[in-house]
Chain A
Amino acid sequence: MATSNGASPSPVGDAKKRYTPGVLKYAQMGYWNPDYVPAPTDILAMFRITPQEGVDAIEAAAAVAGESSTATWTVVWTDRLTACDVYRAKAYQVDAVPGTGPGTTTEQQYFAYIAYDLDLFEPGSIANLTASIIGNVFGFKAIKALRLEDMHIPVAYLKTFQGPATGIIVERERLDKFGRPLLGATTKPKLGLSGRNYGRVVYEALKGGLDFVKDDENINSQPFMHWRDRYLYCMEAVNRASAATGEVKGHYLNVTAGTMEEMYERAEFAHSLGSVIIMIDLVIGYTAIQSMAKWARNHDMILHLHRAGNSTYSRQKNHGMNFRVICKWMRMAGVDHLHAGTVVGKLEGDPNMIRGFYDTLRETETKENLERGLFFDQPWASLNKVMPVASGGIHAGQMHQLLHHLGEDVVLQFGGGTIGHPEGIQAGATANRVALEAMILARNEGRDYLAEGPEILDAAARWCSPLKAALELWKDVSFNYESTDTPDFVATPTAS
C-alpha cells in the first residue's frame, strides 16, 4: 500500500525523453516501481525516511534507492551503455510509519522498501554491501533523517560468506557445556590493573564457577599493562582454574590493535598459549572483522565481538541503523559472540526489540515479525549461529528474568555482579553459577520459574551463603528507564 503526501511522478517510459540531458526526479528516472515484485535473489532493505519539508515520500524513497545504487543528480547518457534497468535499485513500497505525523509528537516518517539486484554486490564483502546501502545516501540533502531498519539477505548472497567461525553448537561441544547459559564477567576496573593483578581477577572468577572472563573493549596495550603481559597472566589463570575445576575455561583476549598486522600478531600469541577464544571490537571495521573471522576458523578459535561504538548510530530511532542489521552483518562477517542486550540491565533495550536481535543471531530461519522489528523472512542458509552476550548491570537476583527473556543459548556476563560481591570474586562467581543451575533445574522440572524465581533463588541461598549475600546486596537494583529504540507495531489482543 503506497502512501504519499502529494502526487508522485511515474517513470518516464519513452527512452528519448528519459535520456534528454537535464534533471529528472528520481521517481521519473525509474527508481520507484510500485509494481516491482522482488526476485528471490534480490537484496532487500527497509529504510525509515523523514523527508525534508515539501519532499514527496515516494520521491524521497526513490532518491534513497537511486543514491544507494546507480544514480547521480542528473541524467547521464552512459546509462544507455548498460542494462541499467537491472542495476537500478527499485523502491517498491512506501508506508507511513504508525504513530508519526499529524496528531502525534513525531514528525511524519515513512518506511520505504527497496530491492537491489544481486549483481550490484561483490560476493563475500560486507564492506562492499555497506558502501552501497549506507554509503553516500545518509548524507543526502532531500532527506532530513534516514535509518536503515532491516534487510533481507538472499540465500544466494549468504552462501558467499563464511559465517561464524565456530558457532553456538561447536562452541558448546568444545567447551563441553550444555543445557544452560554460559557465565562470564568483564574484569573490573577495566583500566589500570597490572597484568599480575588482572590475572588474579580472572583466576578467582573462573575458579568460583564462571566459564569465561573478558577483557573490556578498551583494554588493548596500555602503559599500565602491555598486551603480552596480560595474555601470559590470563592464561596462567585460565589453566590454573581449569585444573582446579576439571572444566574447560576461557578468557576473551582482546586482540584489537591499530593495524591488522598487530592484531594477527596478538591472535597468534593467544593461540600459542592455548587460549580457546579471542576478542575484537566492532570499531576495527567490517573488513578487519571478516579477516579475523577467517583467521579464527583456521585456528580453532572462538571469536568474540564487543559492539563498541554501535550506539553512536543504532540508538536513536530516526537516524542511523537498527542494531538488528548489525546482527545480520556480523553473522555474515563471521563472529561467534555478539553483545545484544540484557533487557533488565543498565544498557538500552526494549524486550521485543532484543528478542528480534537474539532470534536473528540464533535461529536457522526468522519469519517476519513486526512486533520484534523483523520486517522480512530471513532463512540463514546453514550459516552457524552466533551466541548473544548479555552484559551490563545484571546480577544473580534477576536469574529467572534473564532466563525468561534471553533463553539458554546466551552468555550472561556479571562483571560488577561477580567482582563486587562482599565475600570476594570467587564467592560472587559461585553465587551466579548456583543461581543459574538452580533456575535451569527448576525450569526443566516444569515449574513456573518466572513467577517462582525469587522463591527458587531463596531456597538455593539457604544452603549457598555466597548466593544469600548476593541476593541481599543487590535485591533492590533495577534499571527502569524508557527505551529509545522501541517497536513501531504492538500486538493487538485478539478476541478469543
Chain B
Amino acid sequence: MRITQGTFSFLADLTNEQIARQVQYVLAQKWAIGIEYTDDPHPRNTYWEMFGLPLFDVHDAASIVIEIERCRATFPNHYIRVSALDATRGTESVKLSFIVNRPAKEPGFRLVRTEVEGRGIRYSVESYAVNANSEGSRY
C-alpha cells in the first residue's frame, strides 16, 4: 500500500526541484518550514519527531532542501514530512504538509474490530510495521 497522508501523496514522489518550488511558495507566504520524521505513521500520530526546530530564520529554499537531505541521510527508511507553519492570527496552524521520504515497502495497517454489544464494533487501526518491530527498526 501507499500511505496517502499529506498534500501530494497521490502524485509521484516529488523530486528535489519540485520540493524546492513548494518550499519557495511557503517562504513567499512568510510561513516557517518544519521537518519531521517517524516510523509510526498511524493516521492519528500527530507528533512526529522534529528534525530540529522549525526553520524560522532560513529564507532560501536551497538551504532548506539541504536540511531535508540531511534528514533523509539520517533516516533513510523513515517517513519524512515538510510542514508549513503559519503564525497569522486566526490561523496559527499548519498550512501545507507533504511527505518527502517514505520507506520502500509500506506494509500498511490492520483494522482491528472489537465486537461489542449488539451489532456495534469498536474499531482501531494498527500498523503492521509497528507491531512487528521496535522503534527505529520498523522499516
Contact = CB atoms under 8 A, between A and B. Distances in A.
B136 interface: no
B25 A437 contact: no
A232 B121 CA distance: 8
Interface stretch (A174-182, A212-220, A331-339): A174-182
A493 interface: no
A421 to B, nearest CB: 15
Interface in A214-253: 232, 235-236, 239-240, 242-248
A430 interface: yes
Interface stretch (B49-57, B68-76, B106-114): B106-114
B24 to A, nearest CB: 8
Q: Select the residue from A240, A245, A273, A430 with max chain B CB neighbours within 10 A.
A: A245
Nearest to B43: A248
Interface string A117-134: 000000000000000000
Interface stretch (A95-103, A393-401, A440-448): A440-448
A179 B93 contact: no
Contacts of A364: 89-90
A178 B22 contact: no
B10 A179 contact: no
Contact of B8 (A236, A239, A441): A441
B94 A244 contact: no
Interface in A452-472: 460, 463
Given A232-B120, A274-B123, A246 B109 contact: yes
Q: Select the residue from A243, A245, A273, A434 with max chain B CB neighbours within 10 A.
A: A243
A248 B44 contact: yes
Given A243-B111, A444-B21, A176 B46 contact: yes
B7 interface: yes
B101 interface: no
A445 B20 CA distance: 9
Nearest to A245: B4
Contact of A444 (B11, B25, B93): B25
Given A243-B109, A437-B11, A441-B18, A178 B97 contact: yes
A347 interface: no
Contacts of A247: 3-5, 43
B105 interface: no
Given A246-B4, A441-B8, A444-B21, A178 B108 contact: no
Contact of A445 (B5, B9, B22, B97): B22
Interface string A378-399: 0000100100000000000000
A475 interface: no
A438 B109 CA distance: 27
Interface residues of B, number: 42
Interface residues of A, number: 38
B10 A246 contact: no
A434 B9 CA distance: 9
A274 B123 CA distance: 8
Interface in B53-93: 83-84, 89-93
Contact of A441 (B1, B11, B42, B108): B11
A178 B125 CA distance: 22
A463 B21 contact: no
A444 B97 CA distance: 13
Nearest to B26: A444
Interface string A161-204: 00000000100110010111000000000000000000000000
Given A235-B123, A364-B90, A434-B11, A242 B43 contact: yes
A433 interface: yes
B120 A246 contact: no
Contacts of A446: 21, 24-25
Contacts of A445: 18, 21-22, 25
B123 A239 contact: yes
A236 B10 CA distance: 24
A423 to B, nearest CB: 16
Nearest to B88: A364
A209 interface: yes
B95 A437 contact: no
A329 to B, nearest CB: 21
A78 interface: no
A163 to B, nearest CB: 13
A178 B25 contact: no
B25 A243 contact: no
Interface of A: 169, 172-173, 176, 178-180, 209, 232, 235-236, 239-240, 242-248, 272-274, 364, 382, 385, 430, 433-434, 437-438, 440-441, 444-446, 460, 463
20 contacts: A176-B43, A178-B84, A235-B123, A239-B123, A245-B3, A246-B41, A246-B43, A246-B108, A247-B43, A274-B123, A364-B89, A385-B90, A434-B11, A437-B7, A440-B8, A441-B8, A444-B22, A444-B25, A445-B18, A460-B11
